[in-house]
Chain A
Amino acid sequence: MQTQVLIIGAGATGTGIFRDLALRGVECMLIEQRDVNAGASGGNHGLLHSGARYVSTDPHSANECKVEGDIIKEFAPHCIENTGGLFVAVKGDDDEYIKQFPINCEKAGVPCREVSPEEALELEPNLNPDVIAAYEVEDASIDPFKLSLENVADAEAHGGVYKRYMKLLGFNKEGGKITGARVVNTRTGEESVIEAEQVVNATGAWAANVAEMAGAKIGMTYAKGSLLVTLSRLNHRVINRLRPPGDGDILVPGGTVSVLGTTSVRVHDLDNVAPSIDEINRNIDQGAQMVPALDTCRYVRAYAGVRPLVQLGEASSDRAASRGYALIGHEEENLENFITITGGKLTTYRLMAERCADLVCNRLKVDAPCLTRGTVLPDYVQTEWAEPSILTKREWMRRHNSEDYLLCECEIVPKSAVDTILDSFGEGEKPGIQAVGLRSRVGKGSCQGAFCGARIAAHMYDRGLFDGNEGVESMRDFLSKRWKGQRPILWDAQFNQAELKEALYFGLLNLEMD
């Protein structure tokens, strides 16, 4: 296979670069070991930062967030719920931090408006009545999956080629030039070489590993952040704790749920990242000081992401380390066609993509300006079924046609939606139940995948997509992946639900036996 630019990694950054280059008319290919947003891009809050979170520690990043947030709200409104946000302090929080907050916002060019505790409680009735200070900011919530899927779709519409399940095995090199990337399709086992003039390493937390394959070194550390999702939405706006960043200090609403996070734990193993029970307890204990209902509400799942932190200098802690990004040309390592871009934030992904694409074009001697700043991102992708319970059951019953029926009842996902998702896969891509789960709400509701997993397996057998016991393997894979997010929140009703799932899959279906 041949392309002008090979981009490795389909997170927010990689898909952003993919679209940026495609819009400039550059021939490019995006490969991904798993699927869209498999790393940190899929394991974050889904928060489009106003910048206010960073005004005290990193005013430059804060301002970047403000500027980029405004741009994204303009060109991708369908990926965003423009909720607005609040910063709140409760009794006992640091007075000095509170006092400096509006001053720092002003300095960084991040708008904020002081609201009285009474008004704050009126805006957000679930706030702790002991709120002592509050500021309104321009936070919003963003669907990172829809954003990345739309970026991929728009790039494809402009000639880009996306290949998922492509694992990088290594690079062929001649002198300082990468002549080919050796890859294997993890579904079929087929190996191939992709030749490209420029190679972009946009693999997030895996950037150091990929750079090493190319013969380059990047110093990186990894901070795991764990978050948890409530069954019902608790807040209208993003609620941030008005204090230095810590556990459980941001509650982001989206659709019918709220997402609480996040912790910061140094990790070394990138392949076994899961939220721990201790992190979940810390998030809840801290979050409940801000929104007391967090102590008693029902949670449906937890998840974790790994933030890649590039060591560009000495940083006192992972939280204080710059949330800025690193764009590395590797010229000093005598590599002439390899670029690494990593770090950064979801909110600044577009800017990162622009800078990286500028470097690529510069090297290719292509004179084409960046177009992503003003070009509206079309609404290609039917991700209606990926958003939290957009339909009520009654609405669905009213509008559905008589041949259709629900495969997932918790989150209202009909057979027709699952078919649309399955149809989007090409020959030989062999989607599993997990691939349906990634593109829909399947498995994300209160039944934890117990019933929908079995139904989708049955449906996929009927469609001839599974042979032999592939469906059984796919159920194991699907349930095991969902389990990572369920284990830390198993108490009360969710515990009972997990017991039902085990009774079903082990007691009756013998899924644990070989």
Chain B
Amino acid sequence: MSNLPVTERDLFVVGTGIAGMSAAVYAANRGLSVSQAGSTGEIVFSSGLFDVMAVHPVEEKKLWDNPWEAMAAVSADMPNHPYARVTRDDVEKAYGELFDFLSKFGLHYRMEKEANCKVLTPIGTEKTTWAVPATMWAGVEAFKKNAPALLIDFKGLREFSAKQVATTIGDKWSNLKTMRLDFPDSASMKPILTGIMAQAMELKETREKLYALIKPHLDGVEAVGVPAILGIYTADEILEEMEKELGVKVFELPTLPASVPGMRLKSLFEGRISTLGVDLKLQHKVFSITPLDDGRYEVTFGVQAPTEKVVAKGVVLATGRFLGGGLFADRHHIVETVMGLPVSQPADREEWHRTDLLDPRGHKVSSAGVEVDSSFQPVDENGNVVHERVYTVGSLLAHQDWMRMKCGTGIAVASSLRAVEAFVAQQ
């Protein structure tokens, strides 16, 4: 181990989800040298929708139209919630820097700054969120005003039924019609998956065939919806072309993971973050993080075994929860996997999950996680910082239920920004 090649960096980011990627962007934007390691495939599970805050209190299922008012209410009611440690400015600044990065490479987001919006889900329910990919915006607006629209699905695409969406949303979008098409050249696709369709949509030939199939059905239609398949790399350009060709607004609806909007984020981050100077090692696992006498940290990482070593002045842990691998549950306890940090958790497994899946309070284990101070450094049960200049960000943080509160990406980006800024200030 001692003869591994050593690189010196300002910051080491562990994790390649939204939190890790945005932390790397913020650090690089501030002139820090950054190494980053993690698996590939975290971000692909993202729906592509960026939340700030929508539901609070969870047990009352109270839905907020204004995300900032919701955030203020949570901060006041739950002093340990990660949002209680950041400001609205932090969230806006964090999203702003992130959107700048994404739009530089052609991926645009749309939102109303002061309001949440509603996106139809693939099962016809309404998801309240804040910012959506530009390819989804026309759907948000058409739904709001019950515009005459045509929702298209494709034969053999198993988890997206236009009829299901339209039947379930019912009277709230009574002017939504549906149609099923054979996707061009889909006979050879088995199974038919949105990712494969999106790859095909990058070809002009496929798109022209699809336009020809849709054109005869546009009488009285103001907008055409499809599951998210409008390309992986040039979605915004495809949208523009399609709207021009069809002469109506076009929108995508989100689909089940792994979905195309997630693939777009993955492809963009993984392909472009190096332009900021970030040294990204995909499919690399971190094996150890050891404090050195000079206050820095030695990080070893590699694919199967440690093959590289970085000595960094600070470490950001953006390793996610259980699915991401940041937390691990055995039959009795929950542990943090990289540094063995203290994890705030219910006393025993009996209390992890409620007996009713749909219990309005949510499950206690959803709020388990790492406790932090105001600069997102992990603390022990007495509130003392465990390691100086180690920061935990994103869903790994305790006292939040991102799934039910609809605050996942907001916490991810805001905590990452605060961690990076705290690190810069401590230098």
Q: Do A and B bind each other?
A: yes
B254 with A508: CB separation less than 8 A:
yes
Judged by a CB distance under 8 angstroms, whether B269 is at the interface is: no
Cα(A511)–Cα(B322), bound, Å:
21
State the majority secondary structure of interface residues on A. Answer: helix
Choose the segment among A241-249, A366-374, A483-491 that binds chain B (4+ C-beta atoms closer than 8 Å). A483-491
B168 with A472: CB separation less than 8 A:
yes
Judged by a CB distance under 8 angstroms, whether A26 is at the interface is: no
B329 with A454: CB separation less than 8 A:
no
Contact with A along B36-66 (1 / 0, CB 8 A): 0000000001010100000100000101000
A468 with B47: CB separation less than 8 A:
no
Cα(A480)–Cα(B350), bound, Å:
18
Cα(A320)–Cα(B362), bound, Å:
41
Q: Quick one: given A405-B158, A476-B358, A490-B353, are A513 and B63 in contact (CB under 8 Å)?
A: yes
Residues of B within 8 A of A496 (CB): 322-323
Residues of B within 8 A of A461 (CB): 161, 163-164, 167-168
A507 with B402: CB separation less than 8 A:
yes
CB-CB contacts below 8 Å: B334-365 with A? 349-350, 352-358, 360, 362-363
B158 with A458: CB separation less than 8 A:
yes
Judged by a CB distance under 8 angstroms, whether A251 is at the interface is: no
CB-CB contacts below 8 Å: A461-491 with B? 461-462, 466-469, 471-472, 475-476, 479-480, 483-484, 487, 490-491
Judged by a CB distance under 8 angstroms, whether A500 is at the interface is: yes
Which residue of B124, B192, B355, B402 is within 8 Å of A472 (Cβ)?
Answer: B124
Judged by a CB distance under 8 angstroms, whether B127 is at the interface is: yes
Cα(A403)–Cα(B49), bound, Å:
34
Q: How far is the CB of B129 from chain A (nearest CB, A)?
A: 9
B329 with A492: CB separation less than 8 A:
yes
Number of A-B contacts (CB under 8 A): 140
Judged by a CB distance under 8 angstroms, whether A103 is at the interface is: no
Residues of A within 8 A of B406 (CB): 507
Q: Quick one: given A492-B330, A510-B121, A513-B125, are A480 and B356 in contact (CB under 8 Å)?
A: yes
Q: Quick one: given A480-B357, A503-B45, are A451 and B403 in contact (CB under 8 Å)?
A: no
Judged by a CB distance under 8 angstroms, whether A502 is at the interface is: yes
Which residue of B127, B191, B192 is within 8 Å of A509 (Cβ)?
Answer: B127
Residues of A within 8 A of B353 (CB): 487, 490, 498
B124 with A469: CB separation less than 8 A:
yes
CB-CB contacts below 8 Å: A18-35 with B? none
Contact with A along B304-327 (1 / 0, CB 8 A): 000000000000000001110000
Judged by a CB distance under 8 angstroms, whether B195 is at the interface is: no
Residues of A within 8 A of B126 (CB): 510
Cα(A458)–Cα(B350), bound, Å:
34
A405 with B323: CB separation less than 8 A:
no
Judged by a CB distance under 8 angstroms, whether A221 is at the interface is: no
A459 with B161: CB separation less than 8 A:
yes
Judged by a CB distance under 8 angstroms, whether B291 is at the interface is: no
A510 with B159: CB separation less than 8 A:
no
Judged by a CB distance under 8 angstroms, whether B331 is at the interface is: yes
Contact with A along B371-386 (1 / 0, CB 8 A): 0000000000000000
Residues of A within 8 A of B115 (CB): none
16 contacts between A and B (CB under 8 A): A281-B331, A405-B158, A454-B256, A466-B164, A469-B168, A472-B124, A475-B123, A480-B357, A490-B349, A500-B323, A506-B404, A508-B256, A509-B121, A510-B121, A511-B358, A512-B362
Shortest 4 CB-CB contacts between residues of A and residues of B: A461-B164, A483-B357, A458-B161, A507-B403
Residues of A bordering B, CB below 8 Å: 274, 276-278, 281, 284, 405-407, 451, 454-455, 457-459, 461-462, 466-469, 471-472, 475-476, 479-480, 483-484, 487, 490-492, 495-496, 498-500, 502-504, 506-514
Residues of B bordering A, CB below 8 Å: 45, 47, 49, 55, 61, 63, 121-128, 156, 158-161, 163-164, 167-168, 170, 190-192, 254, 256-257, 321-323, 328-331, 349-350, 352-358, 360, 362-363, 366, 402-404, 406, 408
Q: What 12 additional pairs, Cβ within 8 angstroms, besides A503-B403, A507-B403?
A: A458-B122, A458-B123, A458-B158, A466-B167, A487-B357, A490-B349, A499-B321, A500-B323, A507-B402, A510-B125, A512-B358, A512-B404
